[in-house]
Structure 1
Amino acid sequence: MKKLILSVAVLGAFSASVHAQTAPTPEHTFTGNLTVASDYRFRGISQTFKQPAVQGGFDYAHSSGFYLGNWNSNVSGNQYNNGAGLEMDFYGGYKFEPVTDFTADIGLLYYYYPGAKVGQTNEKYNNGEIYFGGTYKWFSAKYSYGLTDFFGLNDTTAATPRGNSKGSGYLDLAFNYEVAEKTTLTLHAGRQWVRHYGEFNYNDYKIGIARDFGFATIGLAVIGTNADKGLYTAVDGTGRSKKVGETTAVVSISKTF
């Protein structure tokens, strides 16, 4: 899930881009990233039962605007049952600049959870989306449209069957601004729509600050949602439950190389 917490790594790239404007763009660019976070929040919802996460990935970009990438994170078996406790994201797309200072982005993203199945069914959590986005200076917007059921939600897995959930969508609005040298403020607001299952709709937000210390970027963010606490609750094997959409503070340390 191209995660909220990953914005920390993006901030480092945002700062570096200022210095890269005077240098020629290489035809092929390969980068990697590694993050350790106190919680993995995807669209405001904890994916690790409010426990820490280790995350990392690799990206390839061509000077024409095409790119490919992979990103990975541990996830909780209390939320992604019967699997390896792993999320693997595969994505690719095309970025271009139709007008000065505005970058458009279109791509495909696939979330893969090895071995994980919803409850006692054979339905998988794997999820595919197409996204359309744009960035103008400090502002960005992106809309993701679900090509598959929303993380396995359909007539087989829903408590009250109402059809499949293909066509669900997520709107991501963000503002990234360098408030001081190597220090970036992030503001985010999002809206998740789940087709045919409106009770799962919610808003989420993030207020974060991150500083690039050279050896790594350290970030602190407050993340929350108005998601239904009864629906967005996870339970472990001992019966202990956690409301995974509650407001929390996330600390992270990341490095792009």
Structure 2
Amino acid sequence: MNNPFAYSGKLYLLPTTLGDNDPMEVLPASVQQKVQRLEIFIAENEKTARRAIKKLVPEKSQPSLKFFLLNKHTDPAEIPSFLNACKEGEDIGLLSEAGCPGVADPGAEVVKIAHRERIQVVPMVGPSSILLAMMASGMNGQNFAFNGYLPIDKAARKSEIRNLEKLSVEKNQAQSFIETPYRNNKMLEDLIQILNPSTRICVACDLTLGTEFISTRTASEWAKTKMDLHKRPTIFIIQKDY
């Protein structure tokens, strides 16, 4: 079989921790070994990327490391050049700020370009808050959707929550989404007020951390529960049964 890839350099998708815990508690040794070998990285923030590398491989020398920054300030026209090293036979690591690259993460754009350029993409195993929450929710793991952030506008948000609840019934599909951490409490309040009392809501926060909390209850049950989610990274999942 002919090699389907045009270049020998590979793009490695490197997961990071979901919080400030020991990376070896949630990352396999293969990620550590790969980071030890790589010298070129694509990341959202150089400072946090260097910190993640330092925690994972404390003995790794950092002065010679090269970083390409991929965030809201990046000129889209520059992104293809980030992969030039792969075309010269060098491997590159794509680091997420938290969790897995390319999933609710700007790294997806780099991965898209890598496929277009016939550069081999190698995903490494690590924690995904979306998948971990889904696993622990007790909802339909055979059919689910991640919807990112819901609208900020009050009317638009109410409409979207009702629409997701409707989809959960019509498609028997669990609906997951996130909120800016400082608005988490308001999100839970909105869900309790807008959803049918029997609709299940999973709240999964601080995943993989010592303060991890995951609970699935009906909207009516959550209405009787006091929960502080302020500034705690949280995944919400809803599903209304038939």
More helix by share: 2
More strand by share: 1
Same fold (TM over 0.5): no
TM (norm. structure 2) is 0.28
- Answer with 1 or 2: which has the greater Rg: 2
RCO higher in 1 or 2 (8 Å CA, sep ≥ 6)? 2
TM (norm. structure 1) is 0.27
